[in-house]
Structure 1
Amino acid sequence: MKLFEKIPNPREIRRKLGLNQQEFWSKIGVTQSGGSRYESGRNMPKPVRELLRLVHIEQVDLSKVKREDFEIIEYLKDTHPDLYKSLRKAVKAQAEMQTDPVAQA
């Protein structure tokens, strides 16, 4: 999903995650009633869509992210692109190993 792309159906995402409206929307700073309106078709502002994407689709724990982390990532991308790509590939492989029960056996 691309940056600021329209979220197709937040209710579907919430239900797939098994969360009630309060749990789902509070993680991104939206009230339950506000989230209910978005689930009923009201347009979501771009910042809310992006937070929903990051937290519920990309599974980013915002409490662990710091500005410095983004600065390090940008520095690494600019100055050592091969290392960045290698690290990215390693992280992806590790994540696949953790989610694939056959690979864990």
Structure 2
Amino acid sequence: MKSFAKIDNIREIRKKLGLNQIDFWGQIGVTQSGGSRYESGRNMPKPVRELLRLVHVERINLANVNQNDMTVLALLKEKHADLYADLKKEAKAINKKK
């Protein structure tokens, strides 16, 4: 799934994961009532949509991502742009196979 792409099947994703609204939305800092509105079709802000994609679609545990990870990523992108681009292409190819 492309970053910031519209997610049409939020309720279906939540149900496949076997989570109630409190647990599903709480993992990304959204209240149950806010999540219910998004599931009913209310427009979801891009940052919330991206968090939903990372946590519930890509299955990334945000607790394991720390500032050092982000710094290494920024340094790799800045100082070794060619390697960064190659790794990004490779990751995209791997994710397409899944």
Please give the TM-score of this superposition, normalised by the length of structure 2. Answer: 0.77
Aligned length: 94
Structure of higher CA gyration radius: 1
1:74 offset after TM fit, Å? Answer: 3.3
Please give the TM-score of this superposition, normalised by the length of structure 1. Answer: 0.72
Say if 2:54 is the partner of 1:50: no
CA distance in 2, matches of 1:78, 1:15: 40
CA distance in 2, matches of 1:9, 1:85: 32
Instruction: Give the RMSD, CA atoms, in angstroms.
Output: 2.7
1:66 offset after TM fit, Å? Answer: 1.3
Label 1:83 to 1:7 Cα distance change in 2 as closer, same or farther (>3 A): closer
Q: Which runs of 5+ in 2 are unaligned?
A: none
Identity %: 61
Aligned to 1:7: 7
Amino acid at match of 1:24: F
CA distance in 1, matches of 2:5, 2:55: 14
Aligned to 1:99: none
Q: Which runs of 5+ in 1 are unaligned?
A: 94-105
CA distance in 1, matches of 2:22, 2:84: 41
